[in-house]
Structure 1
Amino acid sequence: MKAQALHGHLDALLLAVLEQGALHGYAIIEALRVRSDGNLDLPTGTIYPALRRLERAGHVASSWSTVNGRKRRTYELTGSGRRALSDERAGWREFSSTVARFLGPDEPPATPA
C-alpha cells in the first residue's frame, strides 16, 4: 500500500502503534509492517516527518538514548496524544460506517418506490 493511500490516516496509525509503549523509529516502522501483514511497508521519509509533526502538536514526546553505541530517538504517546487517538478512533468509526453504506455489501440498498 502506498503512503499516498494513507493520506489523512497516518498520524492516527502512528498514535495507535505508540499506544502500546515507547518505540524508536525503526520499531515503529516494523510494527506498522507487521500489524498490517506487510501492507504498510512505509519508508522512513514518510514516517519521520509525521513523527516530528506529532511531536510539534504535543501528541508525541521523544528522547534520545544510546543502545550498543548507537544513538536512537524513542517516541512515546503523551496525554494529548491519547486524547487525539480517541478522537481519531471515533472519527474513523463514523467514516467507515458511512462508507460501508456504499461499498460494504454487494447488494445495492433497496430504493424507495
Structure 2
Amino acid sequence: MIGAQLNVTEARHRLARKIFFGQRGELRQHYREGMEDQLGALGLPLNSVELFNSLYSDAAVKQLAADGFPVTDELLARLSPLQYDHINFLGRYAFTRPAAPGRRQLRDLHSDDDTDDGEDE
C-alpha cells in the first residue's frame, strides 16, 4: 500500500516537473520569497491538468460502457489523472469564460477514426 502511494506521489512530481519545464525549469525570481511563490503557483496548473484529465476520463469511461465495452473495477483502478502525453506544455493558451455561466459542457471525445488536426490540449 505504501508503494502504491509512493507511485502516485512520484507520478504527481513527474507531471509537476513537466509543467515546470515549460519555463525551461528555471526559477526566474532572484529572491527567496519570489522563488517560493513561483513554486507555489505550480499547484494551479497541476490541479487544472488533474481536473481536466478526471473529467475527460470519466466521460470516456461512460462512453465505453455505453458502447458495450466491459468496464470493470480492476480496469478503473488503473486509471490515473496524472497522464500528460496529450498536452503541449510549450504552447500558448487562452482561457476564456464559457458562453453560458454555470453550464459545464465537454468537447467531443476523439475516436480512432478521427484525423489528427495537429492541435494539442
TM-score, normalised on structure 2? 0.28
Q: 1 or 2, which has the higher strand percentage? A: 1
